[in-house]
Amino acid sequence: MEQKIIDYDFNEETLGFEEPEKAPDKPLGTGEKLSLAVLGFGILMFALQSMGMPPGGTWAGFLLVFLPVFFGTAFYFHLNFKGTVPGIKHDNIYFRGLTNKGVLGWLVGIVFTGFYIALYWFPEYLAGGIKIVNPLSLALSGSPANNWFFYGFLYTLAVFIFGVRMFMKYRHNRYQKIRTASVMFFQLGFAFLIPNLLMLFNQPEFYLSYFWPLKPEYLFPGTLSYFVNHPGGLGMFLIFWGAVMTFIATPLLTYYFGKRWYCSWVCGCGGLAETMGDPFRHLSDKSKKAWRTERWLVHSVLVFIVVTTVLLWVNSATSGAVFGEASMSLKKWYGFYIGAIFSGVIGVGFYPIMGSRVWCRFGCPMAAVLGIFQRYLSRFRITTNGDQCMSCGNCSTYCEMGIDVRAYAQKGENIVRASCVGCGVCAAVCPRGVLKLENGGTFKDRFSGSDKPLGALIDSLKHV
Partner 1 sequence: MRVAIIGNGVTGVAAALSIRRLQPDWEIVMISGESSFHYSRPALMYVFMGHMSYKDTKPYEDSLWRKNRIDLVRGWVTEIDAAGKKLIMHEKDPVSFDKLLVATGSKSNKFGWPGQDLGGVQGLYSLMDLRLLYENVKGARSAVIVGGGLIGIELAEMLHSRNIHVTFLVREESYWTNVLPIEESQMINRVILEQGIDLRLLTELKEIVGDDSGRVRGVVTNEEEFIECQVVGLTAGVSPNVALAKASGIKTGRGILVDWSFRTDTPDVFAAGDCAEIITEGEGRNLIQQVWYTGKNQGKVAGEVIAGRHSVYDPGIWYNSAKFFDLEYQTYGTVRNVPVEGEDNFYWEHPDHGRSIRIVTKDGVVCGINVMGLRYSHRVCESWVAEKRSLDYVLDHLGDANFDPEFYEKCEAEIIKEIRKQAA
Ligand X SMILES: Cc1cc2nc3c(=O)[nH]c(=O)nc-3n(C[C@H](O)[C@H](O)[C@H](O)COP(=O)(O)OP(=O)(O)OC[C@H]3O[C@@H](n4cnc5c(N)ncnc54)[C@H](O)[C@@H]3O)c2cc1C
Positions touching ligand X (CB under 6 A) are 1, 390
Q: By CB under 6 A, is residue 434 in contact with ligand SF4?
A: yes
Q: Which is nearer to ligand SF4, 338 or 437 (CB)?
A: 437
93 binds, among ligand X, ligand SF4, partner 1, none (CB under 5 to 8 A by kind): partner 1
The residue within the footprint of partner 1, chosen from 27, 231, 386, 441 (CB under 8 A), is: 386
Handedness of CA 103, 107, 113, 114 (dihedral sign): positive
- Strands 435-439 and 380-384 come out as antiparallel
Q: By CB under 6 A, is residue 406 in contact with ligand SF4?
A: yes
Q: By CB under 6 A, is residue 157 in contact with ligand SF4?
A: no
d(CA 56, CA 65) in angstroms, rounded, equals 9
Q: How far is the CB of 179 from ligand SF4 (least distance, A)?
A: 10
Of 87-95, 151-159, 265-273, 385-393, the segment contacting ligand SF4 by CB under 6 A is: 385-393
Are the C-beta atoms of residues 151 and 268 closer than 8 Å to each other? no
Q: By CB under 6 A, is residue 394 in contact with ligand SF4?
A: yes
276 binds, among ligand SF4, ligand X, partner 1, none (CB under 5 to 8 A by kind): none
The residue within the footprint of partner 1, chosen from 154, 243, 306, 392 (CB under 8 A), is: 392
Q: By CB under 6 A, is residue 152 in contact with ligand SF4?
A: no
Q: By CB under 8 A, is residue 428 in contact with partner 1?
A: yes
Q: By CB under 6 A, is residue 390 in contact with ligand SF4?
A: yes
Of 34-42, 43-51, 116-124, 280-288, the segment contacting partner 1 by CB under 8 A is: 280-288
Q: By CB under 6 A, is residue 420 in contact with ligand SF4?
A: yes
Q: How far is the CB of 417 from ligand SF4 (least distance, A)?
A: 7
Q: How far is the CB of 79 from ligand SF4 (least distance, A)?
A: 28
In the chain, % helix, strand, coil (3-state, to 5) comes to 65, 0, 35
Q: By CB under 8 A, is residue 462 in contact with partner 1?
A: no
What is the separation of C-alpha 332 from the centre of its chain, rounded to a whole number of angstroms?
A: 24
d(CA 429, CA 396) in angstroms, rounded, equals 10
The residue within the footprint of ligand SF4, chosen from 39, 140, 166, 401 (CB under 6 A), is: 401
d(CA 127, CA 168) in angstroms, rounded, equals 35
Q: By CB under 8 A, is residue 436 in contact with partner 1?
A: yes
d(CA 50, CA 57) in angstroms, rounded, equals 9
d(CA 202, CA 249) in angstroms, rounded, equals 28
Q: How far is the CB of 19 from partner 1 (least distance, A)?
A: 7
462 binds, among ligand SF4, ligand X, partner 1, none (CB under 5 to 8 A by kind): none
Determine the residue type at 340: A
Q: By CB under 6 A, is residue 426 in contact with ligand SF4?
A: yes
Enumerate residues 6+ apart whose C-beta is below 8 A from 250: 211, 262, 369, 370, 373
Q: Which of 412, 415, 440 is nearest to 425 (CA)?
A: 415
103 binds, among partner 1, ligand SF4, ligand X, none (CB under 5 to 8 A by kind): none
The residue within the footprint of partner 1, chosen from 427, 443, 446, 451 (CB under 8 A), is: 427
Q: Residue 216: is the preceding peptide bond cis (ω within 30°)?
A: no
> Tell me, what DSSP letter sits at residue 382?
E
E strand residue ranges, 2-109: none
DSSP string, 199-236: HHTT-----TT--TTTSGGGGSHHHHHHHHHSTTSHHH
Contact residues for ligand SF4, defined by CB under 6 A:
389-395, 399-401, 403, 405-406, 409, 415, 420-426, 430, 432, 434-435
